[in-house]
A and B are shown apart, each in its own frame.
Chain A
Amino acid sequence: MKVRIIDWRAVAGWRWDVPDDEVCGICRAAFDACCPSCKIPGDDCPLIWGECTHVFHMHCLLKWLGADNSQQQCPMDRRPWVTAT
């Protein structure tokens, strides 16, 4: 049987490269959702990885690092936060 494709539509999905069931430790929302201050997940609400391997919504982590009591430490392990490159 010969099949001739007349028309096709591409559909793409995306997700962040993190384990399925993990949530941001700060807001407790899924990584694939956005931080509580944003409305639409995606490039406008990215994730940020530390050298300590911990991941957060970037907006959540920056808000924490901006607070006096954070002492610029990772909220998980209290090591100085260094963004992984």
Chain B
Amino acid sequence: MLKIWNQKKSEVEAQRLKPKGSPSRIRLQKDLGELVPSDDTDIQFPNPSDQTTFNVVYRPPTGFYTGGEFRFTFEVSENFPHEPPKVLCTQTIYHPNIDTEGHVCLNVLREDWKPVLNIQSVIFGLQMLFVEPNPEDPLNKDAAKLMIDDRQRFGRMVAETMCGQTRSNVAYSNVLDMKNPANKGRTLRNGHSYY
């Protein structure tokens, strides 16, 4: 019997000595460890000692936004996973579900968040927004309306704003991915073309 007690004591001791971060950090670390590596998505940690703030860079392989490189900041609060991460687009882009301030309208970031979802689910959601924007639930109402009314003109508008052009007094960010051969011949705001 004494042996069992000693064993239990040493287990408790081991638990105590093990560095135990806050529950949200532990859970975040698991989420980050389980991310599926992908050629079109990068995760960057501007401050390696702080995993709660990181950037996600996504290069859509198909759809209106092909050839672009879209950047987001993720902020994970102490209440994660009971609260979703805060996600902002750091560029000014023309998108039905993202306003020009970078706010993202995505169900899993708001009303549909639940703690069994993880960082990967949010990244999947962002990827979906670029492969197929959802004009039924818009943040940029003009973009959504144009997408519904005239997909071709919408596509042209997306392509032009992605080059960093100004439309309706909004100076859009140049989001073209320099490494993507699809961008050969596309022009920047200053008129210079790549290659």
Question: Which A residues lie at the B interface, using CB under 8 A?
Answer: 9, 11, 25-29, 35-37, 39-40, 60, 63-64, 67, 69-70, 73, 75-76, 78
Count residues of chain B with CB under 8 A from any CB of chain A. 23
Residue of A40, A64, A69, A73 most packed against chain B (CB within 10 A)? A69
Question: Which B residues lie at the A interface, using CB under 8 A?
Answer: 1, 3-4, 12, 15-16, 20, 22-23, 26-27, 30-31, 79, 81-83, 111, 113-116, 118
A27 pairs with B27, CB closer than 8 A: yes
Complex alpha-carbon distance, A67 and B114, angstroms: 11
A26 pairs with B116, CB closer than 8 A: yes
CB distance from B16 to the nearest CB of A (A): 7
CB distance from B133 to the nearest CB of A (A): 25
Residue of B nearest to A76 (CB): B116
CB distance from A24 to the nearest CB of B (A): 9
Interchain CB contact (< 8 A) of B115 among A9, A40, A75: A75
Complex alpha-carbon distance, A78 and B79, angstroms: 20
Chain A residues in 8 Å Cβ range of B82: 63-64, 67
B16 pairs with A26, CB closer than 8 A: no
B30 pairs with A28, CB closer than 8 A: yes
Residue of A nearest to B115 (CB): A26
CB distance from B134 to the nearest CB of A (A): 20
Chain A residues in 8 Å Cβ range of B27: 27-28, 36
Complex alpha-carbon distance, A83 and B116, angstroms: 18
CB distance from A49 to the nearest CB of B (A): 15
Complex alpha-carbon distance, A25 and B121, angstroms: 13
Chain A residues in 8 Å Cβ range of B83: 67, 69
Beyond the given A27-B26, A28-B31, A40-B12, could you list 10 further A-B residue pairs with CB under 8 A, ordered by the A residue number?
A: A25-B115, A26-B115, A28-B27, A36-B22, A36-B23, A37-B23, A39-B12, A69-B111, A70-B114, A76-B114
B23 pairs with A27, CB closer than 8 A: yes
B26 pairs with A36, CB closer than 8 A: yes
Complex alpha-carbon distance, A63 and B82, angstroms: 8
Chain B residues in 8 Å Cβ range of A37: 23
CB distance from B15 to the nearest CB of A (A): 5
Complex alpha-carbon distance, A67 and B118, angstroms: 18
Chain B residues in 8 Å Cβ range of A26: 81, 115-116
Chain A residues in 8 Å Cβ range of B16: 39
